[in-house]
Amino acid sequence: MTVFHFLNCAVLTFGPHVVYYSATPLSEYDTIGTSVKAAVVYLGAALVKLVCLATFLKVPDANDSFDPYQELMKILIGFIDVAGLYFALTQYIFQGLEANANLVMTLSLAALGSLMWLRKNKPRTLIPIIYACALLLATMPSITSYLRRSLEWQTPKVVGFELFSSLVMAFISWQLFSACQRPM
């Protein structure tokens, strides 16, 4: 029964998408590799989850009381879906995090640029700090390229550096922008 349920879920999940994919111009973009990888990961995770559910959980009777062990097993087996998503999306997670870090850096650079050229009555003591931070943000792509190529940092380490540095620079930009908004 578990195998039948698994096959039924697989057909209902992927059947309409296969028909839609083959009937539209979407197939011209050669996304079949990613789709097949996602399908294999999903089917593998679903099969493992169903086998674990059938093996480790008992069917509750009408007069059974609350069993914390069974509930904990349901929760742990539910994390199989999370593991499947992780394996299917690992490289895309890093790309998304890196894109968000770059967005924060770009917004910080835009805020500093508006301070440099549009704000006329900024405190004189903050001008070198504003220009130094803007220069650092403008060279950040070169810095991350150096970390990847010369120091041979792996993707998770580079993305972590980008996230940390973007948050620090956003905080500094916010503080500088707030300091320039105060009346002199």
**Predicted local distance difference test score (pLDDT) of residue 154:** 93
Q: Is the pLDDT confidence value at 80 over 90?
A: no
**Predicted local distance difference test score (pLDDT) of residue 153:** 94
For residue range 138-150, list pLDDT tens digits in order. Answer: 999 999 999 999 9
174-183 average pLDDT score: 85
**Predicted local distance difference test score (pLDDT) of residue 165:** 96
Contact 166, 105 (CB under 8 A): yes
Residue 60 DSSP class = P
Q: Quote the longest CA-to-CA distance of the chain.
A: 78
Contact 13, 41 (CB under 8 A): no
**Predicted local distance difference test score (pLDDT) of residue 95:** 84
Q: Is the pLDDT confidence value at 34 over 70?
A: yes
39-64 average pLDDT score: 84
Beta strands in 31-156 (DSSP E): none
44-68 average pLDDT score: 84
Angle at 130 between CA 105 and CA 163, to 5 degrees: 25
Give CA–CA dist 10/51, Å, rounded: 15
Q: How far apart are the first and last CA of the chain?
A: 76
3-state secondary structure of 47: helix
27-40 average pLDDT score: 73
Give CA–CA dist 31/25, Å, rounded: 11
Q: Is the pLDDT confidence value at 1 over 80?
A: no
Band of the pLDDT at 27, cuts 50, 70, 90? Answer: low
Contact 145, 80 (CB under 8 A): no
76-81 average pLDDT score: 87
Q: Measure Cα distances from 2 to 27, 70, 73, 147, 148 in Å.
A: 33, 19, 18, 49, 47
Q: Is the pLDDT confidence value at 32 over 90?
A: no
Q: Is the pLDDT confidence value at 31 over 80?
A: no
Angle at 169 between CA 165 and CA 170, to 5 degrees: 115
Mean of the per-residue pLDDT values of the chain: 86
pTM of this prediction? 0.59
- Token couple for 77: 């087996």
